[in-house]
Structure 1
Amino acid sequence: MSDVGSINERYETGEGVGDASVGDFWALLKPRVMSLVIFTALVGLVLAPGNLHPVLAVTALMCIAIGAGASGALNMWYDADIDAMMSRTAKRPVPAGRVTPGEALGFGLVLSVGSVLILGLFVDWLAASLLAFTIFFYAVVYTMWLKRSTPQNIVIGGAAGALPPVIAWAAVTGRVDLAPLSLFLLIFLWTPPHFWALAVLKTRDYARAGVPMLPVVAGERSTRWQILIYSALLVPAGVLPAVCGIAGVPYVIVSLVLGLAFVWFAVAIVRAVDQPALAKACGRLFGYSILYLFAMFAMLLVERAAGVSPLPAMIGG
C-alpha cells in the first residue's frame, strides 16, 4: 500500500476493516510523545505559584495529555498518505489499514473537544483556550500546512509541543508569566536539532513522501550547521528558568553541563566525514536529546522537592 487511495480502496472492499484493537487506538495518541507532554506539564504545574486541589491538578494533567493525544490522532488521520510511504510510519494504524481514516478523525475530534471542555469547566478557561490553540496549531497549522510546504515546518510547528508547561502554569495561576515561557523556549529550541538529527537518518523516506524536511530541501551540509546553531542556542536558553526565578544554582550547573554536551554531540555531526560517521553522530544526538530534555525538567522537580531556593528573578519577577 503506497498512498491514501489504496488505503481507501481497502476500506471500500472491506479488507482489513474491523481489525482495530484497543492498542491501535492507543497508538493513535502517540504515547511516547504524550509521556513527554505529561512530564513537562507536570513541571509547569509544580513550579507555578499558588495551590491547585490535587483532583483538579490530576484533571488538568489528564486533559493536557488527552489533548496532546488528540493532536496525534488528527495528525495520523491527515498524514495517512505520506505515512504509508515511509518505513518509520508505514505500520501506524491508519496506513496499515487497522483503523479507518474516519475512525481516526472522529476519535481525534471527540478527544479534542472533550479535553478542552473539561479543562475549562473544571479548572481554568485560559488554560483550556491554550490547549485548544495547541491542538489547532499542531493539527491544522503544522500538519495540514507547514509540514508539506516549508523546510521550517518543525521549527514553527515545534511551538505546539512546547506549550504544555505554559498550559499547566495557567491552570494553576490563571495567567501566563515569563517563567513558563522560559520553559516554552527551552522546548521550542530543543525541537529542531532533536528532529533534524532523525530527519538526516530518514532523508530518503521524506524525499519519497514529498515532505520538504530541511535535509531534503536545503541539503545535508546546511542541516548539519542548523543543528549546531540550535544546539548552541540551548545553552543560554537552558539558564533562563533561573533568570526568571524558578530554578536555583544546582539547576544552572546541570543545565550548562548538559547544554555543552549537546553542543559537543552537534559538533560531531558537523565534523562527520562520511555517511556511516554521520549516521552514528545523528543517532547519538537524537538519543541524547531525549535524555537532555528529561534531565533538564527533572532537575527542576528535584530542586523543588529538595527545597532548593530559586535564584532571585532578574526578569518577570
Structure 2
Amino acid sequence: MANTTGTQSFEYEAQLGDYFALLKPRVMQLVVFTALVGMLAAPTAVHPVVGFASILFVAIGAGASGALNMWWDADIDAVMRRTANRPIPAGKVQPGEALALGVALSGLSVMMLALSANLLAAGMLLFTILFYAVFYSMWLKRSTPQNIVIGGAAGAFPPVIGWIIATGSFSFEPWLMFALIFMWTPPHFWALALFMRGDYDDAGVPMLTVTHGRPSTRRHILAYTILLVILAIGTAFTAIGGPIYLVTALVLNALFLLGAYRIWQRDEDDSEADNYAVERKFFRLSLWYLFLHFGAILAEASLRPLGWGGWS
C-alpha cells in the first residue's frame, strides 16, 4: 500500500487549489488536447454540447488518475526535488483525501462519459485510469526500467477515446495518434531523468538512468527518436495527415533528431553544465513537439470539410 513516510503534519487546512493540484492540471491539459484532436479528426461530427461534456469527463478521468497516482507515490514524491511540493508530501492534503477524491472522480467520469457519449468510450476511459493508477503506478514504476516505455500507453489513449466518442468504434487512424504519443514518451521522460540527475536514485525508482546508466540512456533516446521520426513523418501520408502536417513534421523531427543526436554525443567527461543545457533544451522541445504535431492534425481535420487539406 502507499507509503506516506516523510510527509508533514496535517495542521494546514487544505484549500481548493490544493485539491486541484492533485489532479495534475498540466498533464490534464495534454490529455484534453489530444482527446479533443482525436474527436475532431474523426469522420463523424459530434454535437458541440455532447463533445464539450464528453471531453470534460475525459479531463475529470485524467484528474482522477493523477490523484490516485499522487496518493500511491506520496513516499517517493517526498524524496524527489521535482515533486516534493506536491500537496501530500507538502502536508497540504491527507493521503486518504487524495484516495477518496481519485476514486470518486473515477466513478463519476466513467459513468458520465457513458451517458454523454457511449459505453465503448467509457470503457476505454476506465481502462486508461486503471492502467495508469494500478498497472503503471503500483507495479511498473517501481519494478522495471521499462516503466515509462510500457506505462507510456496510459498517456497515449486519450486520442483513441476522443475518436470513439465521435464514432463509437475503433479505427486505424486513432492508433496512429496513440503511437505518436507512445513513442514520444520514453525520450521525453528519459531526457528529464538525465537532467534531474539524482532524483530517481534518491527515490529508488528504477528509471533507465539508474539501472543502466547515463550513456545507455543517451543511446536509448537516440534509438527511440529515430523510430519516432519515421512514424511521425509517415503519418503525414495517412488519412489524418496532409501538407500542413507534413511540413510541420519535417521541421519538428529534424530539430528533434538533432537534439537526440547532441544528447547521444555527450559523455560523462563533458561539463555538467553543458550536459544539463543540452538535455533540458531537448526536454523543452519535446513539449512543443507533441503539441504542434497534434495541432497540425487538428488543422488538417478543420480544413478538410472546406475541400482543402489531405492529399486528395
Deviation by residue 1:262-301 (Cα, 9 ceiling, x = unmatched): 0100111111233222111110000000011111111122
> Match for residue 243 of structure 1?
237
Separation of aligned partners in 1, 2:166 and 2:234: 21
List gaps (5 residues or longer) in structure 2: none
Is 1:303 aligned to 2:297, yes or no? no
Partner of 1:86: 80
DSSP 3-state at the match of 1:303: helix
1: distance between equivalents of 2:298 and 2:37?
A: 6
148-157 vs 244-253, greater mean Cα deviation: 244-253
SS at match of 2:18: helix
**Letter of the 1:250 counterpart:** I
Q: Give, in angstroms, the shift of residue 75 of structure 1.
A: 0.3
The Cα shift of 1:302 comes to 2.0
Shift >6 Å, 4+ stretches: none
Instruction: Give the letter for the 1:215 counterpart.
Output: T
Residues 34-69 of structure 1 show CA distances to partners (whole Å, capped at 9, x for unaligned) of 001111111111100112211110111111111111
Shift of 1:29: 0.6
- Kept in 1, the 8 Å contact 2:64–2:101? The answer is yes
For normalisation by structure 1, the TM-score amounts to 0.93
**What whole-Å deviation, never above 9, does each CA across 1:126-177 have from its counterpart, x for those lacking one?**
1111100000000000000000000110000000000100000001101111
CA-CA distance at 1:305 after TM superposition = 2.9
1:185-200 matched pairs, under 5 angstroms: 185-200=179-194
* CA–CA separation in structure 2 for the residues paired with 1:5 and 1:195: 26
Any gaps of 5 or more consecutive residues in structure 1?
Answer: 313-317
Range that drifts further, 40-49 or 301-310: 301-310
Structure 1 equivalent of residue 273 of structure 2: 276
Matched, 1:290 2:284: no
- Counterpart in the other structure of 1:147: 141
Partner of 1:36: 30
Aligned residues of 1:242 and 1:311 also touching (Cα < 8 A): no
Alignment check: 8 A CA contact 1:178 1:244 kept:
no
The match for 1:176 is: 170
Deviations 1:205-232 (A, max 9, x none): 1111110001011000000010111111
Q: Percent identity?
A: 51
Residues paired across the two proteins, number: 304
Deviations 1:233-254 (A, max 9, x none): 1112113433331111221122
Letter in 2 for 1:24: D
- 1:240 and 1:165, CA in 2 relative to 1: closer, same or farther beyond 3 A? farther
Which letter does structure 1 place at the counterpart of 2:284? G
1:212 maps to which of 199, 206, 211:
206
Tell me how far apart the structure 2 counterparts of residues 60 and 143 of structure 1 sit (CA, whole Å): 25
Q: Paired residue for 1:115?
A: 109
Partner residue in 2 for 1:315? none
Pairwise CA distance, 1:257: 1.8
2:230 aligned with 1:233, yes or no? Answer: no
Using the size of structure 2 for normalisation, the TM-score is 0.94
Report the counterpart of residue 217 of structure 2 in structure 1: 223
Q: Give the letter for the 1:186 counterpart.
A: L
Distance 1:36 1:276 in 2: 30
What do you get for the CA RMSD once the two structures are aligned?
Answer: 1.4
